[in-house]
Each structure stands twice: as C-alpha cells, then as structure tokens.
C-alpha cells in the first residue's frame, strides 16, 4: 500500500487558527517532517495533541538530504506530514522540492489548507487585489533590489512580498525612488498576533514611517501600476488601419481611443494633423 505526503498549514500566531484536520494529522501521521521540531512539538502541546509518529527535521539545509528517506517511507505505505513554522509549506518555506520529488515518483500528495500571510495581507491591505503576484523576499543588496523593483514599475497586478524588519526601511526608500512616492502600499506586521498592525498609505508615507524601525514578521502589499495613457500621435497608424477597412474615421477614433484610454477628440485631431502633414 502506498502512503502519501500531506502538506499542512500551521497558525501564523493565533493558535485558534489551527484546523481540526491539522490536529488529526499531527496525532496520526507516521512521520512529521518539521522545519523546527521544537516549535512543532510546542504547537502540538498547545493544541493538546499527542504526536505518535516519528518527528524529523526538515529545514532548508537538510531538505535535499531528507527527501530520499521520506520517499522510501511514503512508498512503504506511511503518511508523512510536512509542516513549517508558520503558514503554508512551499510558500517561501521548505516543501517545494519534496512535492516535486513525490510528483516525479507518482506518489500521492495532498494539502490541508489554512493560514497564509499572503492572502491575509491582501485582504487587509485595502488595495485592489483581484489580480496579484507573489514575489517572496526581495534581493538583499540594494542594486539587485532596485533592479527587482524596476520589474514592478509597470506591473498592473498587486504584488505581495515578505521583508525582514531590519531591511524594510531601505526597501521602501528604494521603492520610492524607483516606483514613485505616490504608489500606494500596505505594510502588514505580526499578522494574527497580539501586536498585529497594518500601515496603509503611499510609498513615501510608509518609507517615512519605517525610518524609526519595524519589528516582527513583515508582509508588504504593493498596489498595481496604473495604466499610462498613450500619446494620441502614436495611435494614428492604428486609426488609419481601421479606416482602411471601411470604418468611418470618427468610429475608428472612438474604438482606438477607448482601447488605449485617450481622448477621442485629441486622437481625431491628431489624425487630421497627420493627414495635413506632407
């Protein structure tokens, strides 16, 4: 009989966020692979759950070495529960390589959903987040971080990322310079914990706030870039291409202007100017 790998989300701070399924998994798994074995045992104790299986460490530096053993255990029919210190495994935490190995060996993988700093921060940000991307941790060095920020300059989706508290001020200062002082964002600190705090505002306002230092675990939500209206003169060829199909000039201008968020009148005038120019 083949076992399975179970990924389980753990509370970010408030123990009340632990699911009943997590409790059952901790109590019944044959092996518990934990990012920090001490924290996982403390979690089980707080939940009044007795771990009956073997507990093994599964953090960044041992992840690759542990995988063959865990694959053997799953193949032999045992259930391996993978948990990290907080939140969902594989999301900026150990787990991805183990999942990939199970997929490669056609071994079952399932997930017990639960707390996530990413979705919690998105919900609390007060920003438009119908579409978003997650970018993990920014580069530590300023030059590389600024290059990373440039990739977000025209990104229309909200972007969620984590940052170390001692690097937050520098990161936000770079963001002001690269993305502009008026781009909106939210800094979410210590989510679900006693001192949870969400600071919302422009990048300039958040950078000024961060100068005094921030503590705890930080999740940042950056608003998506606002679309920049095109120059009507650059759309003249597109209008002429439409009129060449038999569409009236005014109708072609209305269609192209709507698609590129420009004034229909300004686009119409730009076409007439271009036609008068030798």
Chunked in runs of 10, what are the mean pLDDT values of the chain (278 residues)?
92 95 97 97 97 96 96 97 94 92 97 96 96 96 94 93 97 95 97 96 97 94 85 92 92 86 90 89
pLDDT value, residue 170: 97
Strands (E), the chain: 4-8, 31-34, 54-57, 79-83, 109-112, 132-134, 158-163, 184-189, 197-202, 218-222
Per-residue model confidence (pLDDT) at position 61: 93
Q: Which CATH number describes the domain made up of 118-222?
A: 3.30.950.10
Residue among 251, 255, 257, 249 nearest 233 (CA): 257
Asked if residue 158 lies in contact with residue 228, where contact means CB atoms within 8 angstroms, the answer is no
In angstroms, the Cα distances linking 181 to 109, 144, 172, 276 are 44, 20, 10, 41
Residue 61 burial (10 A CB sphere; 0-12, 13-18, 19+):
exposed
Distance between CA 212 and CA 260 in Å, rounded?
A: 42
Q: What per-residue confidence (pLDDT) applies to 259?
A: 74
Q: What is the DSSP letter of 132?
A: E
- What integer pLDDT is reported at residue 176 of this predicted model? 96
Confidence at residue 258, expressed as pLDDT on a 0 to 100 scale: 79
Q: Which of 21, 200, 6, 167 is nearest to 98 (CA)?
A: 6
Which residues does 270 contact at the CB level (< 8 Å), separation at least 6? Answer: 232, 233, 235, 236
Distance CA 232, CA 206 (A): 35
pLDDT value at position 257?
A: 85
The residue count of the chain comes to: 278
Please give the pLDDT value at position 1.
Answer: 65
**Per-residue pLDDT, 104:** 97
Q: DSSP assignment, residue 192?
A: T
Q: Domain 4-115 in CATH: superfamily?
A: Tetrapyrrole methylase, N-terminal domain (3.40.1010.10)
């Amino acid at each position: 009989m083949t076992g399975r790998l179970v990924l389980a989300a753990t509370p970010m701070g408030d123990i009340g966020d632990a699911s009943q399924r997590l409790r059952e998994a901790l109590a019944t798994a044959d092996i518990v692979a934990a990012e920090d074995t001490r924290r996982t045992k403390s979690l089980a104790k707080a939940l009044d759950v007795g771990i009956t299986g073997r507990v093994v460490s599964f953090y960044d530096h041992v992840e690759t070495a542990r995988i063959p053993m865990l694959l053997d255990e799953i193949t032999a029919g045992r259930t391996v529960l993978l948990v990290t210190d907080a939140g969902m495994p594989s999301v900026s935490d150990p787990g991805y390589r183990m999942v990939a190995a199970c997929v490669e060996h056609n071994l079952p993988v399932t997930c017990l959903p639960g707390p996530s700093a990413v979705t919690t921060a998105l919900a609390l940000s007060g920003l438009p987040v119908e579409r978003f991307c997650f970018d993990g941790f920014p580069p530590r060095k300023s030059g590389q971080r600024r290059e990373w920020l440039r990739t977000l300059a025209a990104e229309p989706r909200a972007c969620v990322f984590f940052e170390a508290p001692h690097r937050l001020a520098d990161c936000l200062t770079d963001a002001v310079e690269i993305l502009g002082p008026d781009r909106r964002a939210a800094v979410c600190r210590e989510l679900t914990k006693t001192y949870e705090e969400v600071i919302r505002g422009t990048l300039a306002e958040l950078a000024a706030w961060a100068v005094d230092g921030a503590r705890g675990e930080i999740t940042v939500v950056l608003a998506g870039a606002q679309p920049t209206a095109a120059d009507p003169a650059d759309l003249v060829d597109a209008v002429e291409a439409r009129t060449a199909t038999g569409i009236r000039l005014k109708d072609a201008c209305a269609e192209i202007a709507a698609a590129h968020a420009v004034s229909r009148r300004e686009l119409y005038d730009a076409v007439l100017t271009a036609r008068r120019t030798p």
